[in-house]
Amino acid sequence: MDTLGKHRSRIRILAKILSVVNENNGAKKTHIMYNAYLSYELLTRYLTDLINANLIIYGDDNNYMLTTIGEKFLTKFEEYSKLDQDINEKVNHIKKQRLILEKLCPTSNL
């Protein structure tokens, strides 16, 4: 999971914006900005990209709404995110096992 202070990928930022919109059945720019942890300038750029990709629309009530394509993106992102987490956990486990092996077989002073 993303934590503050770490760099997030563009895909993760887009997914976070879409999640905020989805969880609230539509959201205003300020709400998205605070919940996605973005500056106004960055959010504006990402919203433009999302609108151009038909992942969200800007409604008459000044809310951003998820499109069907946006819903599909979120579903695929959730699948990706789970796989990514599983792989990272396995890689970390392998690294720990390697450290254990290296400690069991110290190098000589050659």
Q: What is the pLDDT of residue 105?
A: 87
Helix residue ranges per DSSP H, 1-110: 10-23, 29-35, 40-52, 68-104
**What is residue 62's three-state secondary structure?**
coil
Q: What is the pLDDT of residue 28?
A: 96
Can you tell me the distance from the alpha carbon of 69 to that of 75, in angstroms, rounded to the nearest whole number?
10
- Global model pTM greater than 0.95: no
pLDDT tens, residue by residue, 35-80: 999 999 999 999 999 999 999 999 989 999 999 999 999 999 999 9
- The structural domains of the chain, with segments of one domain joined by +, span 10-104
CATH T-level assignment (fold) for domain 10-104: Arc Repressor Mutant, subunit A (1.10.10)
Strands (E), 1-110: 56-58, 64-66
